Every structure is written in C-alpha cells, then in structure tokens.
Structure 1
Amino acid sequence: MLAFDFVATSTRIAILCIFFHLTGAARKWDYEPILLTTTSSDESKLKFEAKIERLGRSDYGLSGIIEWKYDTNNETMVEAQAYRSNTGDESDYKLLPWAIPKQPFYDYLNTYYKDVILKNLGYCSNLPKYDGKFQPPWPKNTYKLDKCKIDGDGLPEIAPPGFYKIVFTKFGPGQPTWGFTAVFKLTNKIF
C-alpha cells in the first residue's frame, strides 16, 4: 500500500512538472497579421516593399525586400511605438509601454535587433548576423525576407487579446525617413 502511494504521488509530481515545463516560458498568444504598410521618403536611397503571405489555413508569413543604398552614422536614429485596441477601430488604439525608445541605430542593433528581429527573421532572410557587438558600417545591400513566420522570441510571453499596431521609424540627417506600420490580431493560444 505504501509503495502504491509513493508511485501515485511520484506520478502526480511528474505530471505536474511536465505541465509547468510545457506552459512555462512560452508565448501564450497566437497572431494573425492584418495589415503591413511600408514607407520611404527617398526610394533612391532606400526602397522598402513588404507583404503578408498566407501559407496555410491559419499560417501566415511576411515577405519583403529592402534595397539599402545609403550610409548610416552615429546620428541615424530608430524608434517604435506599440498600440492596442479591443476593436481594431483606429480611434480605439491606446499607446502601450512596449516600445523602442528613440535611440541611435547602432545601439538598437545591439539590443532589439539582436534580441527580437534576428531571432524572428534571421532564419528566413539575409539580414546581417553577427556575434558580440555590432561593428559599423551597416552593409549596403538588398535584404530579402521570405515567408517569415514570427515565433515571438524576445516579445512579451503574455499579451491580452486584441488588435496591436506597431509603428517603426528610422531616420537621420541627410538620410531617408522610412519604416513600417503593422497591425496584428492577437488571440489566446489554446495549446
């Protein structure tokens, strides 16, 4: 009888540990991309095109081309804001604390770019990858993203359901101002 209680208790503990392992440190949301628009103030220096591609019944990918033809410097800046809406109506969006504060491009490359962009888009693109700290210059190149599925690495694990809008902007003196606006519908992940 004592051996049976020990086995039953051990089994329950093992199941509980497996449950916590499977639910811990994982994204608790799914997303559907709704809108992706790009802008560039000077397409002779930077041309940016992107689109949402349906890969399956509920599977989406992002594809795009960035033709980067200008030099960055210490005055090149990056910033991004995130907004959330319950309804998706433009007047309903509220600013979230999840943002990339205005900062030098090279600082961004050593933080958000490395921790979020490369983790989610590095496998499906030819974006520059590097170990350690980024060493300028940023290479002029045509960068391609091919049906990139965002896993959510580096993003919040828990986010309330609703519509999320991200506005990303890059700018600097004598440089084009360019960026994108993306809208995603987040739902709770079932498993």
Structure 2
Amino acid sequence: MSKLIACVIVLLLPIDNAICKRMWDYTLLSMETTSSDPSKLRIDSAIDRINRTASGISATIHWNYDVDETTFVHLIGHRSNTGNEDDYVLLPWTIPNQTIAEFSNSYYKPIIHKNMEHCSTLPEKVYPISKGTVWKFERCVIKGENLPHYLPDGMYKASFYGIGEVDFSLTVVIKVFKKIDLFG
C-alpha cells in the first residue's frame, strides 16, 4: 500500500507544480514613453538585450514636481493575433481611473512593485512622490507575479496613463507565447 501511495505522489508532483505556474513567456517588442512637460517629469527608457532570448526594461524616471492627489492613473490592455494596429481588441484586464494614492494602496504593491522590486529603486508605496525623486530600472524582466497563469499566444499592448499637473504615458508591446518548459 505504501508503494502505491509513493507512486501516486511521484506521478502527481509534476502536475501539482505545473498547475499554479505561469504557462506563458514573452518577448519585449517595443516601449514608448511620453511626458507633457519634460522639465517636470523626464522619462528615459530603453529595451536592453540581456542575452540571446531575453530583453529587459531599463529606465530612469525623474520627478521634478510634487505629485498630489489630483494626479489620476489608469491602465488599458489590448491583444492582437497579428500585431497590426487595426487588429487590437480591448482586454478586460485594466486598472480603472483612480487617484495615485488609491493606485498605491490597490494595484501598485501586488503587481508593479512585486514584479519590479528585484531590478529597480521603486519604493514600497508609490504615493506621495516628492520633487527630486528618481526611480531607476536596470534590465527589468517581469517575473509574472500576480498576473494570469494562462494567456493566449499573441501580441499584447499595455498602456499606462497619468493625468494631472503633468500628463504622462508608458506603452509596452510584448509577444506572448507558450512556455516550452512547463516545469521550470
């Protein structure tokens, strides 16, 4: 009987490990940032090649003004089979329009901070942001923490917008594909 139990455990262990893991991987295709007033908010960004198969986001964000509760942020996601601009459809995964203080207490820590803390100087709380704050990102590869475990193959575009004293945006386009090694 104990041999039977041991066999069942050995057979089910790989299945258990694969069920709760991200089943997709991605390639960064493009990143675009804008600022309505670069003297108050300057965003320098690039996609850096890490190795033959991986790229990471490198950026420096200079906050030259005090961000207050009149600043609103939101995120919109789109998916396309082909990557053609006319082919993108709106996804249900969005961050609704909210003050930066509400964003700091809701979506920021479990999604943004958790995926970028290993490669950036992001603080635990994004609000308040005082004048002179600088955030740096060094070849960040998103870990996939608190993101969907399964995504259909295709092109994904995520656009993050900030509206306030300075309007800003960050748009990232990635190509999603099935993970080859489901157990690693």
TM-score range, shorter chain: over 0.9
Whole-Å separation in 2 of the counterparts to 1:80 and 1:117: 12
How many percent of aligned residue pairs carry the same amino acid?
A: 38
Aligned partner letter, 1:188: K
Secondary structure (helix, strand or coil) at the match of 2:142 reads coil
Correspondence for 1:53: 48
- Which entry has the higher C-alpha Rg, 1 or 2? 1
Matches within 5 A, 1:1-191: 6-7=2-3, 9-130=4-125, 136-140=127-131, 141-172=133-164, 175-191=165-181
Aligned partner letter, 1:144: K
| Cα offset, 1:120, TM superposition | 1.0
Question: Is the Cα–Cα contact under 8 Å of residues 56 and 140 in structure 2 kept in the other structure?
Answer: yes
Output the TM-score relative to the length of structure 1: 0.89
Question: Is the Cα–Cα contact under 8 Å of residues 101 and 128 in structure 2 kept in the other structure?
Answer: no
Output the TM-score relative to the length of structure 2: 0.92
Question: Is the Cα–Cα contact under 8 Å of residues 63 and 129 in structure 2 kept in the other structure?
Answer: no
Aligned partner letter, 1:139: S
Whole-Å separation in 1 of the counterparts to 2:104 and 2:91: 22
The more displaced of 137-146 and 10-19 is: 10-19
| Cα offset, 1:69, TM superposition | 1.1
Aligned partner letter, 1:181: T
Whole-Å separation in 2 of the counterparts to 1:19 and 1:145: 34
| Cα offset, 1:77, TM superposition | 0.3
Whole-Å separation in 1 of the counterparts to 2:90 and 2:48: 27
Secondary structure (helix, strand or coil) at the match of 1:111 reads helix
Aligned partner letter, 2:51: G
Whole-Å separation in 1 of the counterparts to 2:146 and 2:28: 18
Query: 5+ residue gaps in structure 1?
Result: none
| Cα offset, 1:60, TM superposition | 1.4
Q: Which runs of 4+ in 1 moved over 3 A?
A: none
The more displaced of 89-98 and 111-120 is: 111-120
Query: 5+ residue gaps in structure 2?
Result: none
Count of aligned positions: 180
Aligned partner letter, 1:67: H
| Cα offset, 1:12, TM superposition | 2.9
RMSD across aligned positions (CA): 1.4
Whole-Å separation in 1 of the counterparts to 2:54 and 2:85: 25
